[in-house]
């Protein structure tokens, strides 16, 4: 933006120099061409040829004839010279003459100077830290965002959870009439390139409101106070247009957890964060302003940001599964000359690719096709592009379509799902996927727990069995030598449950109804027994789970195969498989 302004600054500068040059040339020419003897001048007077005499104190004076020509002659410096001239009907001017050919470049010079001054003043204001306008920090107000929900493939849950926001933006009065309090802020979290910005734009597009976007890192500057003032300006600008979607990318740059150590020099960040929170509580629901923020580090955010009335709705944006990838391929090939591209096959090959990466794959293929002057983008171009894109991302292990990884994850998740279905059917499994979530491991199995105020011993035990199901399936299929770290979180949660049961909930034998924590500072408790009891419980459950999975071997196989193929399965798919394969 600033560079652009600087470029324009060049225009008045050039014209100033040019007009100055013309001015000088004209003047030089004049000095040379016209000088007459005083006697000739007197002749001109008597011949009534003289129109104006420019009378100054210099040794020579300028004379203008009636035909427009100019010359100089000696200044007589007599006292009645002016009187004589006037009596002869000659105009007397007491300044230097100005010809038309001179005045044009001179005016040009003055105007250029003025423009230059104004522009550089403006420029200085843009770059000076104290008076930043939002323009200078690339808040782009797209008056009408061209995106809508159909521009986004997959992420149906996320789309579903912003639908009411769109409705609210269209018609905020309706919601206030019912006294409904809409969230002021939403956080979209997930891997980079999964379409968080896209979703925010789509919300603005669907609602038909302007979209303002900035990145958290734009706010963090060397100068203290700049970030806060940018926040205020951003909100001012957005509010001046009524309804709006304000999008703040990389919110973690300003909203990172404060780590206690006050000497981190994070004054600037605190001020910026406070300004944001103040602005957010400053407008009311009726205004129809929604702030959407994106991050890939949800766990890093300051809890102050997440409180009610601030960013109180959190929406996960996941990597696309095979169906979504198909749609993304179709979307990005839509307006390109593509021939016989096997989208099905490409969606298979691009497991763990983000939407952005698929886009760059297609783009790379288009560039290759163009380089070859090929009429169409074909599979061979995608093939080449694929190795380019992969090579560029080689370091990130997960990007490789490792069939083995996919297989392990599939069996692991199938294990969770089957145990859940068999021992804990009251928790309905809504989704099983081998596409990783930003929260955790390789894949996940999502079940909706029942809403009970108390969790009883039986429930906790079954919950542990479900957690152990992933590792158990791995062990059954791949052998105990080949189990993976994929069960890290499961084991952690399971240990947490069993230790709570034994040491806090009074559900174990060793401590009975005692809570371990209450004795921690008076006794040197022998924790060995507690550990032993926990271990026995978990081992016993693990064996049960393994037996269960072995007896459900058919289902385990069919479920895993389906997962490898389709990547995401829902409740109905699971039930269907369970019925067929038994
Ligand atoms: P993020 O904000 O999560 O980093 P972006 O929204 O900037 O990701 O996505 C970058 C680009 O990738 C988008 O402009 C779009 O072209 C493509 N893309 C990402 N996810 C999707 C998706 N689900 N559907 C269609 N295109 C997508
Ligand atoms: Zn697991």
pLDDT digit string, tens, across residues 172-216: 888 888 888 888 899 999 988 999 999 999 999 999 999 998 888
Nearest ligand 1 atom to alpha carbon 191: 3
Does residue 194 have its Cβ closer than 6 Å to ligand 1? yes
Ligand nearest to the CA of 417: 2
Where in the chain do CATH 3.40.50.300 domains reside?
A: 149-316
Q: Which own/partner pairs from 502-505 qualify as long-range (CB within 8 Å, at least 24 positions apart)?
A: 502/530, 502/533, 502/534, 502/537, 503/530, 505/457
- The overall average pLDDT reported for the chain is 82
Higher pLDDT, 311 or 256: 311
Q: Evaluate: CB of 320 within 6 angstroms of ligand 1.
A: yes
CATH superfamily of 403-580: Peptidase M41 (1.20.58.760)
Is 287 among the catalytic positions? no
474 Cα to the center of ligand 2, angstroms: 10
Distances (CA, A) of 451 to 31, 454, 455, 464: 100, 9, 9, 18
Question: What's the average model confidence in pLDDT over 232-245?
Answer: 86
Asked whether residue 314 carries a pLDDT value surpassing 80, the answer given is yes
- CB of 294 closer than 8 Å to CB of 248: yes
Dist CA 533 CA 333 (whole Å): 59
Using one digit for the tens of pLDDT, what is the confidence trace for 115-134? 777 666 555 444 444 334 44
pLDDT of 430-474, one tens digit each? 889 888 766 555 677 777 777 677 789 999 999 999 999 999 999
Question: What is the CA(435)–ligand 2 centre distance, in A?
Answer: 13
The model's pLDDT over 361-379, given as tens digits with 9 standing for 90+, comes to 999 899 989 888 888 998 8
Task: Region of 61 please: left (phi>0), alpha (psi -120 to 50) or beta.
Answer: beta
The residue from 413, 533, 552, 567 that is catalytic is 413
Residues of the chain with CATH 1.10.8.60: 322-391
Residue 195 near ligand 1, beta carbon < 6 Å: yes
Share of the chain above pLDDT 70, in %: 83
For residue 504, how far is its CA from the centre of ligand 2 (angstroms)? 25
pLDDT at 133: 44
Q: Which ligand is nearest to the CA of 251?
A: 1
pLDDT single digits (tens) 527-565:
888 999 999 999 999 999 999 999 999 999 999 999 998
Q: Distance (Å, rounded) from C-alpha 481 to C-alpha 469?
A: 17
Residue span(s) of the chain under CATH 3.30.720.210 come to 2-102
The CATH code of domain 322-391 reads 1.10.8.60
Considering every ligand atom, which ligand is closest to the CA of 197? 1
| Average pLDDT value for residue range 247-257 | 87
294 lines ligand 1 (CB under 6 A): yes
Q: What pLDDT digit, counting tens, does each position of 500-522 carry?
A: 999 999 999 988 999 988 887 77
Cα gap 365→382, rounded to integer Å: 5
Task: Please identify, by atom number, the ligand 1 atom nearest to the C-alpha of residue 249.
Answer: 2
- Enter the CATH code of domain 2-102: 3.30.720.210
Rounded CA-CA distance 186/528 in Å is 47
Q: What pLDDT is attached to residue 1?
A: 41
Query: DSSP labels for 40-78?
Result: HHHHHHHTT-EEEEE--SSSEEEEEETTS-EEEEE----
Query: What is the 3-class SS of 384-407, one letter each residue?
Result: HHHHHHHHHCCCCHHHCCCHHHHH
- Locate CATH 1.20.58.760 in the chain: 403-580
Question: Which CATH code, of 3.40.50.10420, 3.30.70.360, 3.40.50.300, 3.40.50.620, is assigned to 149-316?
Answer: 3.40.50.300
Structure pTM? 0.63
Q: Is 291 in the pocket of ligand 1 (CB under 6 A)?
A: no
């Amino acid at each position: 933006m600033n560079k652009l302004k600087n470029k324009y600054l060049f225009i008045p500068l050039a014209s100033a120099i040019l007009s100055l040059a013309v001015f000088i040339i004209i003047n030089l020419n004049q000095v040379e061409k016209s000088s007459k003897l005083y006697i000739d001048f007197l002749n001109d007077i008597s011949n009534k040829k003289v129109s104006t005499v420019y009378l100054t104190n210099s040794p020579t004076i300028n004379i203008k004839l009636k035909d427009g020509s100019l010359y100089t002659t000696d200044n007589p410096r007599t006292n009645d010279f002016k009187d004589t001239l006037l009596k002869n009907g000659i105009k007397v001017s007491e300044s230097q003459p100005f010809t038309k050919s001179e005045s044009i470049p001179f005016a040009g010079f003055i105007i250029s100077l003025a423009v230059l001054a104004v522009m550089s003043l403006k420029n200085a204001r843009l770059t000076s830290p104290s008076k930043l306008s939002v323009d200078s920090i690339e808040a782009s107000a797209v008056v009408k965002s061209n995106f809508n929900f159909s521009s986004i493939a997959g992420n149906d849950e996320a789309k579903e959870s912003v639908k009411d926001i769109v409705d609210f933006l269209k018609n905020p009065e309706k919601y206030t009439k019912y006294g409904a309090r809409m969230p002021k802020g939403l956080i979209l979290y997930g891997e980079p390139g999964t379409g968080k910005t896209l979703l925010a734009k789509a919300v603005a597009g669907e609602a038909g409101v302007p979209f303002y976007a900035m990145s958290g890192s734009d706010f963090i500057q060397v100068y203290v106070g700049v970030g806060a003032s940018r926040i205020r300006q951003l909100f001012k600008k957005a509010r001046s247009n009524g309804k709006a979607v304000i999008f703040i990318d990389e919110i973690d740059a300003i909203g990172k957890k404060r780590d206690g150590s006050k000497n981190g020099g994070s004054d600037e960040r605190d001020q910026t964060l406070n300004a944001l929170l103040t602005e957010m509580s400053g407008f009311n629901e009726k205004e129809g302003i929604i702030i959407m923020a994106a991050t890939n580090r949800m766990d890093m955010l300051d809890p102050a940001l997440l409180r009610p009335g601030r960013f109180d709705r959190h929406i996960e944006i996941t990597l696309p599964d095979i169906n979504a990838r198909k749609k993304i391929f179709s979307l990005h090939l839509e307006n390109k000359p593509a021939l016989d591209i096997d989208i099905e096959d490409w969606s298979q090959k691009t497991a763990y690719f983000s939407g952005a990466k698929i886009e760059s794959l297609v783009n790379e293929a288009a560039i290759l096709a163009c380089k070859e002057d090929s009429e169409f983008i074909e599979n061979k171009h995608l093939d080449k592009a694929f190795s380019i894109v992969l090579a560029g991302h080689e370091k990130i292990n997960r990007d490789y379509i490792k069939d083995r990884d996919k297989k392990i994850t599939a069996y692991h998740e199938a294990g969770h799902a089957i145990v859940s279905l068999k021992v804990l059917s009251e928790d309905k499994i809504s989704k099983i996927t081998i596409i990783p979530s930003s929260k955790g491991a390789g894949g996940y199995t999502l079940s909706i727990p029942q809403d009970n105020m108390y969790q009883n011993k039986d429930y906790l035990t079954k919950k542990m069995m479900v957690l152990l199901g992933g590792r158990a399936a791995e062990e059954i299929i791949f052998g105990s030598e080949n189990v993976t770290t994929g069960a890290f979180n499961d084991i952690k949660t399971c240990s947490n449950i069993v230790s709570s049961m034994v040491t806090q909930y009074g559900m174990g034998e060793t401590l009975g109804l005692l809570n371990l924590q209450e004795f921690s500072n008076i006794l040197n408790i022998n924790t060995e027994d507690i550990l032993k009891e926990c271990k026995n419980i978990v081992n016993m459950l693990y064996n049960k789970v393994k037996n269960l999975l072995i007896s459900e071997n058919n289902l385990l196989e069919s479920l895993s195969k389906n997962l490898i193929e389709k990547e995401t399965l829902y409740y109905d798919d699971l039930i269907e498989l369970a019925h067929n394969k038994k």
